[in-house]
Structure 1
Amino acid sequence: MSNSAAKPSRLDRTRSDERSEVRSAVGRFITVGVIAMMIIAVPAALWVRAESMSNAMDNAIQQAQRLADYSIGPLITDDLLAGLPGSTRRLDDRLAPRISDGSIVRIKVWDSGGRIVYSDFPALVGQVFDLPSFAPELLAGGKGHANLGVQDGAENAHESQAGELVEVHVRTTAANGQVVILEAYFNDDGVRDEQNALVVGLIPTFLLSLGALQMAQLVPAIQLARRIQGHQSTKRRLLQHAIDASDLERQRIARDLHDEVIQDLAGLSYALEAEEMHSTPENRALFGQAKAILQKNVRTLRAMTTELYPPDLAELGLPAALTRLAAPLLEHDIEVKLHIPPDCDLDRDRSAMFYRVAREVLANTVKHAKAGTVELTLMQDTDRTILLIHDNGCGFDMAADAPENHMGLRIMRDTIEVAGGTLEVRSWVGGGTSVMATLDRVVPVRTR
Structure 2
Amino acid sequence: MPTAPPTADGWIVVTDPAGRRDPAPVARRPLLAWVAAAAVAVIALVVVLGLVAARALAESEAVNGAAKRADLIADALIEPDLTDGLLTADPAAIARIDEVVQNHVLSASIARVKIWAPSGEIVYSDETRLIGRSFAFDDDEREAFERPEVRADVSNLDAPENVYETSGGKLLETYRSVRSDSGQQFLFEAYFRYDEVDVRTSQLFYGFSWITVGSVLLLVLLLAPVLWRLLRLLHLEQRQRAELLQRSLDASSAERRRIARTLHDGVVQDLAGISFALSGSAGRAAGLGDTRLASDLTGAAATVRGSIGGLRSLLVDIYPPSLETAGIEAALTDLAAGLRSRGVEVLVEVDPRTALDAPQSRLVFRVAQECLLNAAKHSGASQVVIRLGPDRLEIADDGTGFDAAAALRAPADGHFGLRVMADVVSEAGAELALSTAPRAGTRWRLRMQSGPAEPQARS
Taking structure 1 as the reference length, the TM-score comes to 0.63
2:147 aligned partner, one-letter code: G
Check if 1:390 corresponds to 2:434.
no
Taking the aligned partners of 1:336 and 1:51, their CA distance within structure 2 comes to 83
- Determine if the alignment matches structure 1 residue 88 to structure 2 residue 94: yes
Aligned equivalent of 1:250, options 253, 256, 260: 256
User: Counterparts of 1:133 and 1:313 in 2: how far apart (Å)?
Assistant: 99
Partner of 1:327: 372
Which deviates further from its counterpart, 112-121 or 269-278? 269-278
Separation in 2, partners of 1:304, 1:75: 120
**2:87 equivalent to 1:42:** no
Secondary structure of 1:109 counterpart: strand
Structure 2: 5+ residue runs without aligned partners? Answer: 1-19, 324-356, 387-399, 428-454
% identical aligned pairs: 27
- The residue identity in structure 2 corresponding to 1:103 is S
Deviations along 1:189-229, one digit per CA (max 9) or x if unpaired, are: 22211222211221221121122223223333333443455
Residue aligning to 2:306: 296
**Within-5 A mapping of 1:129-140:** 129-140=135-146
Are residue 221 (structure 1) and residue 227 (structure 2) matched? yes
Task: Indicate how the Cα distance of structure 1 residues 44 and 100 shifts in structure 2: closer, same or farther if over 3 A, else same.
Answer: closer
In structure 2, what is the equivalent of residue 78 of structure 1? 84
Q: Which has the higher contact order (CA 8 A, sep 6+)?
A: 2
- CA distance 1:322–1:238, change in 2 (3 Å): closer
What is the TM-score when the length of structure 2 is the normalising length?
Answer: 0.62
Aligned residues: 351
Give, in whole Å, the separation in 1 of the partners of 2:30 and 2:293: 77
Residue 153 of structure 1 and its aligned partner are, at CA, apart by 0.4
| Alignment CA distance shift 1:387-1:110 (3 Å) | closer
Q: C-alpha separation between the residues in 2 aligned to 1:266 and 1:191? A: 106
Counterpart of 2:85 in structure 1: which amino acid?
Answer: D
**Aligned mates of 2:188, 2:306 — CA distance in 1:** 116
- The answer to whether residue 360 in structure 2 is matched with residue 315 in structure 1 is yes
**Separation of aligned partners in 1, 2:43 and 2:140:** 40
Match of 1:437 in 2: none
Q: Which has the larger radius of gyration?
A: 2
**Partner SS state of residue 390, structure 1:** coil
C-alpha distance in 2 between matches for 1:200 and 1:98: 33
Describe the shift of the 1:307–1:147 C-alpha distance in structure 2 as closer, same or farther (beyond 3 A). farther
Deviations 1:84-107, CA, capped at 9 Å, x for gaps: 123221322233257876433221
What amino acid maps onto 1:163 in structure 2?
Answer: G
2:116–2:187 Cα contact (<8 Å) kept? yes
Distance 1:316 1:387 in 2: 29
Q: CA 1:313–1:56 in structure 2 vs 1: closer, same or farther (change >3 Å)?
A: farther
Q: For 1:130-151, what per-residue CA distance to the aligned partner results, in whole angstroms no more than 9, with x for missing partners? A: 2232124433336533333661
* CA contact 1:22–1:229 (8 Å) conserved in 2: no
User: CA 1:296–1:111 in 2, change beyond 3 Å: closer, same or farther?
Assistant: farther
Question: Superposed, which structure 2 residues align to 1:91-240 within 5 Å?
Answer: 91-97=97-103, 102-141=108-147, 143-148=149-154, 151-231=157-237, 233-234=239-240, 237-238=243-244, 240=246
- Contact 1:105 1:187 (8 Å CA) reproduced: yes
* Amino acid in structure 1 at the alignment position of 2:69: Q
24-33 or 69-78, which moves further after superposition? 24-33
Residues 178, 132 of structure 1: alpha-carbon distance in 2 compared, 3 angstrom cutoff: same
Return closer, same or farther for 1:113/1:318 CA change in 2, 3 Å cut-off: farther
User: Quick one: structure 1 residues 14 and 196, their matched pair in 2 at CA, closer, same or farther if it must change by over 3 Å?
Assistant: farther
C-alpha contact 2:39 2:216 (8 A) present in aligned 1: no
2:67 to 61, 77, 81: 61
